[in-house]
Amino acid sequence: MAKILIATYSWSGQTQRVADQIHSLVPDAAVFSIEVAGDTFDSDMYKTDAIATQQIQRGQYPALINPVPDGSAYDLVLVGSPVWRGRPATPIHTFLKNLNGFKGAVASFYTDAGSAGDYETVFKEWADGLTVLPGHEGSTGLQDWLNQLQQKI
């Protein structure tokens, strides 16, 4: 049985709901909430977008306030994020760079308002050096996606 970690960043709860659905399908998986300090972003979507864009332009990704689990304990890490301007949310970059000792594969699940843009391409860039399996958009078809992943690990 593969050891799975479900790691999720969610700004307004949608992605967390999908993470909860995934966890109900793989109840043995561990869960980790990717969290940043409360003043990192804004309650306003457009201001948050501007902050995240500036972080990317400057290469200054936000620190996480909780320690990332030891990656060596897992075969597969499912990384959840909202789509922000066609990319993963910036805390995902920090998370991926802090998966120390991780030798398994990562696969991303993400939610959006209809336009995922370059999400999966940018996720792969941010996961440079890790094995990236196909991602999943939205909240339907999760079981099929998980079945496909289980065959690849």
Ligand X SMILES: Cc1cc2nc3c(=O)[nH]c(=O)nc-3n(C[C@H](O)[C@H](O)[C@H](O)COP(=O)(O)O)c2cc1C
**Binding footprint of ligand X on the chain (CB under 6 A):** 10-16, 45, 48-49, 52, 82-86, 111-115, 117
Look at the chain and count its residues. Answer: 153
What's the min distance (Å) between Cβ of 139 and ligand X?
9
CA dihedral 115→75→153→127, nearest 10 degrees, is: 40
Residue nearer to ligand X on the CB measure, 11 or 61: 11
69 CB neighbour count, 10 Å cutoff: 18
Identity of the residue, 79 or 104, whose beta carbon is nearer to ligand X in the bound complex? 79
As measured in angstroms, the least distance from the Cβ of 16 to ligand X is 6
Q: What one-character-per-residue DSSP string does 70-123 give?
A: -GGG-SEEEEEEEEETTEE-HHHHHHHHT-TT--SEEEEEEE-SS--TTHHHHH
* Identity of the residue, 52 or 107, whose beta carbon is nearer to ligand X in the bound complex: 52
- Tell the smallest beta-carbon distance from residue 113 to ligand X (Å): 4
Which is closer to ligand X, CB of 66 or CB of 72? 66
CB of 70 to ligand X, least distance (A): 25
Residue closer to ligand X by CB (options 62, 82) is: 82
Smallest distance, ligand X to C-beta of residue 35, A? 13
End-to-end CA distance of the chain: 10
Residue 82 phi/psi, 5-degree rounding, is -75, 155
**Cβ proximity of 49 and 113 under 8 Å:** no
